Chain A
Amino acid sequence: MSNNITKITSKARGQGSISQFVELIVPWTQESGGVIPVPDGTSDGTEYSIPFGSVEAEATFFFVKNSTGASLAIRMNGVATGWSVPNGASLLYQAPSSVTLGEGMDTALTQASVVTNVLQDGDGSVEFLVLSAPEG
C-alpha cells in the first residue's frame, strides 16, 4: 500500500499577541477513528484503550477529544502522562516523520488510553483519530 498524504492545519488566533499557524504534511497508510462510549455510572479510575486498529508501527497523528462531562487522564504507551483533559478539551499530536527509536519509554507512540477521574454522571464519549507511520 502506498502512503496517503494528509494536510493538517492548526490555528490559534485571538486577542493578544499570540497567533500561531501550523501546517504539516503527514503521510500515513492506516487509520483508526471513532467514538468510545463512556456509560453512566462508570467507576472512577476506569481505563479505556484508544483503538489503534491496523496502526501497528507508530502513530504519526493522534487526536482525542473529551466529551464525557468530566476530566480524563491520558496514558501514552502505558505511561501516566501529565495531561488531564477537561470536558470539551482536546489533545492533538502530529508528526511529519517517524521517530528514531530509543530504549525504554523513549519510543514511538504505539498505544494510548484515557482514564476516568470521577464516577461518570450520564452517558459520555471520547472521540479519537489515529493515523499510522509512513511506509519506507
Chain B
Amino acid sequence: MANKQATVKWTLRGDVGIHPAAAEILAIDWAAENAGEVDIADQTAGSTVVTIPFGAIGTEATCFWLKNTTNQDLTLKVSGANNGFRMPPGSTIIYATPVAAGGSTKLTAATVTTTATMDGAQVVTFGILGDPV
C-alpha cells in the first residue's frame, strides 16, 4: 500500500499579523487513519481515563489532532506520559511530523482524563494519521 499525503496548515492572524513561526504547511505521509468522537457519559467520575482509539494505526502517528469538546478541563497523556498541563474546554493540540519518529519515542497511544464529574454527555474530538510505508 502506497502512502497517502495530508497537508497540515496553521495560520495565526490578528493583532500581531501573520507570525512567521506560526504560518506552517507540513506534508504528512500516512497509510492508516482514524478519526471521530469519543463519548464521555454524563456523571462520569473525575479521574476517569478515556482512551483515544488509534484504530488501524499500529506503528505510529505522524499527525495527531485532539480537541477538548467537553465542558471541563481534561488532562492528556501521549504514549503513556503525562502532558504536564490541563487542556480547558475548546482547546486543541496538534502534532504533525513529515518524518516518522520511530524508536521508543514514537506516538502510539493517547488518553484523556476527566478532572471532575462530567456534567452532561460530552465528547472528545480527534483525528489521527499514521503508519507511513
Q: Measuring CB to CB, which residues of chain A are less than 8 angstroms from any residue of chain B?
A: 4-18, 20, 22, 24, 31, 33-35, 61, 63, 65, 71, 73, 75-100, 102, 105-110, 117, 127-129
- Are the CB atoms of B21 and A81 closer together than 8 Å? no
Binary contact readout B75-96 vs A (1 if CB under 8 angstroms, 0 otherwise): 1011111111111111111111
Bound: A98/B89 CA distance, A:
9
CA distance A7 to B65 in the complex (A): 18
The 6 closest A-B pairs by CB, nearest first: A14-B6, A84-B105, A76-B84, A6-B14, A89-B97, A79-B84
Residues of B participating in the A interface, judged by any CB pair closer than 8 Å: 4-16, 19, 21-22, 24, 26, 28, 30, 33, 35, 63, 65, 67, 72-73, 75, 77-101, 103, 105-107, 115, 127, 129
Give bound CA distance, A136 to B84, whole Å.
24
Provide the main secondary structure of the chain B interface: strand
Q: Which of A33, A76, A93 contacts B92 (CB 8 A)?
A: A93
- When the two chains form the complex, which single residue of B78, B86, B106 contacts A102, counting CB atoms closer than 8 Å? B86
Our pick among B33, B81, B94 for the contact of A17 (Cβ within 8 Å) is: B33
What residues on B are CB-neighbors of A109 within 8 Å?
84-85
Contact of A129 among B7, B22, B77, B103 (CB under 8 A): B22
Query: Per DSSP, are chain A's interface residues mostly helix, strand or loop, or mixed?
Result: strand
Contacts of B97 in A (CB 8 A): 85-86, 88-90
Which residues on the B side are within 8 Å of A88 (C-beta)? 26, 97-99
B4 to chain A, nearest CB (A): 4
> Is B84 within 8 A of A24, CB to CB?
no
How far is A102 from B99 in the complex, measured between Cα atoms in Å?
36
The winner among A5, A12, A79 for most chain B CB atoms within 10 A is A12
Told that A88-B98, A110-B85 touch, could you supply 6 new A-B pairs with CB distance under 8 A?
A: A14-B4, A24-B92, A31-B16, A81-B78, A97-B88, A117-B105
Are A91 and B78 also in contact (CB < 8 A) when A12-B65, A98-B88, A102-B115 are?
no
A26 nearest CB across to chain B (Å): 8
